[in-house]
Amino acid sequence: MGRVSPLPPPGPLRTLAYATLVNTVGAGLWLAGGALYLTRDVGLSATSVGAGLTVAGLVGLSASVPLGGLADRWDPRTLRAVLQVGQAVVALAYLMVGSFPAFLAVAVPEALLAAGNLAVRAALVAGVGGPDGRVHAFATLRAVANLGITVGTALAGIALAVDTHRAYQVLVVGNAATYLLSAALLLRLPPQPAAAGTRRTPGTLRRGGPLRDGRFLAVSGASAVLSTHVTVLVLVVPLWTVDRAGAPPPVVSAVLLANTVLTVLLAVRLSRGAERAAPAARKLRRAGLVLAAATPLYAVTGVLPVLPAVVLLLGATAVWTVGDLWHGAAGAGLAYDLAPPDAIGAYQGADGLVAGLAQALGRGLLTLLVLGGGPVGWLVLGGIFAAAGLAAPALARRAIADRPVPEARPAGVPG
């Protein structure tokens, strides 16, 4: 029988999985309760919270490449632990927020640390997994993260049900505590050698770094277009489910739960074969076509009676999740394999920057396209996803051809 638990066998990856599980329990707490804490307990308006988070998120993306590059020169294990201690301090600072300027003063450093931490995490995953196991490690941690967020969301429900000042304070402190516990678990990993310690050959790190590597950015751009499937699932689909399909609000929870369960069960299995750029690009093409295939299923739910619409919503979400998981594995494989070995963190940071910009822009554009355009909007979205997926192999071939060939060593010179 195959493994049921998303946790890997004992070893460094399991330790990293435990750190991820603890950290994402806190993420689930804050995702479910943060907005309500800021509006119901602190007293900010929903509009100001949304505007502040948007501004902070865009500013935070600027930390991706610099901190990713730092992870190429320092031990990413220690660097990530330090960042998480910083995130704990910032998370606790939400207890002192009482106005919009104070909220912005906390949200901006929080977003900077979070965006930088994602790039550092990618470098750490590469070190723990190695060239042949980093995509598998990425998929394993994604399954674990979904499990942790689900647990955190359920725990947040207790604070939301109590709905008192003290309950919200416990939620904030609980989120901060998970950062500290996760940092302590990270320090149980063996030190990871900095990637920049590898022997450089002329041209290994492209001049100007990842933000001037046009062919890499083109591949990242195609992947970033597909990455907006996250926004579609957590923002567009819930609104469509209630407003257009006419389903009761609990159906939204069922749809998101279906995605979570399938991610935990299938993330590792569907990640296979994406370790190198060429097969990863083909998997990205499949992801785009599968996501495109799910869009007419969602579109039809807007004209069906409620019960068939609910059944089809769940079926469409199952198809969507397969495309989602293929995209996650393929995007990771491409970003890892197309990066110079001594600049994995910086290139992962650039990949995260492009994806972050796409998702920030996508929130408004996708809502307008689908909810404003109805079934036709879904079909247009499907065409966009199909085009991005179909473009991926050709873009990847150009990026592979652009990779520098290491200099041959004279006979007798050790590697």
Cα dist from 370 to 144, 295, 298, 375, 379, whole Å: 31, 10, 10, 7, 9
- Whether 201 shows a pLDDT value over 60: the answer reads no
Position 32 scores a pLDDT of: 86
* Closest C-alpha among 347, 332, 331 to residue 284: 331
Confidence of residue 403 (pLDDT cuts 50, 70, 90): confident
Q: b/e for 325-353, b at 16 or more Cβ within 10 A?
A: bbbbbbbbbbbbbbbbbbbbbbbbbbbbb
Query: What tens digit of pLDDT does each residue of 140-184 get?
Result: 999 999 999 999 999 998 888 888 999 999 999 999 999 999 999
Tokens 């489910």, residue located: 241
Q: Is the pLDDT of residue 33 over 80?
A: yes
Amino acid (1-letter code) at residue 296: P
Tell me the average pLDDT of the chain.
Answer: 91
Work out the number of other CB atoms within 10 angstroms of the CB of residue 161.
Answer: 8
State mean pLDDT over 217-242.
95
User: Which pLDDT value is given to residue 162?
Assistant: 87
For the segment 37-69, what is each residue's pLDDT rounded down to a tens digit?
A: 999 899 999 889 989 999 999 999 999 999 999
Quickly tell me which residue has 């200099």 as its tokens: 407
* CA atoms of 279 and 3, how far apart (whole Å): 25
Confidence of residue 406 (pLDDT cuts 50, 70, 90): very low
What's the whole-number mean pLDDT along residues 188-201? 68
Rounded Cα gap, residues 392 and 244, in angstroms:
33
Region of poorest pLDDT, from 16-20, 80-84, 340-344:
340-344
Tens digits of residue pLDDT in 78-137? 999 999 999 999 999 999 999 999 999 999 999 999 999 999 999 999 999 999 999 999
pLDDT digits (tens, 9 = 90+) for 235-279: 999 999 998 999 998 899 899 999 999 999 999 999 999 999 999
Residue 414 pLDDT? 41
Sign of the torsion formed by the C-alpha atoms of 89, 94, 96 and 100: positive
Q: What is the pLDDT of residue 20?
A: 97
* Single-letter amino acid code for the residue at 397: R
Q: What is the average pLDDT across 213-233? A: 97
| pLDDT exceeds 70 at position 407 | no
Distant-in-sequence, close-in-space partners of 28: CB < 8 Å, separation ≥ 6:
148, 149, 150, 151, 152, 153, 154, 155, 156
- CA 156/CA 321 separation, integer angstroms: 25
- Model pLDDT for residues 350-379, shown as the tens digit of each residue: 999 999 999 999 988 999 999 999 999 999
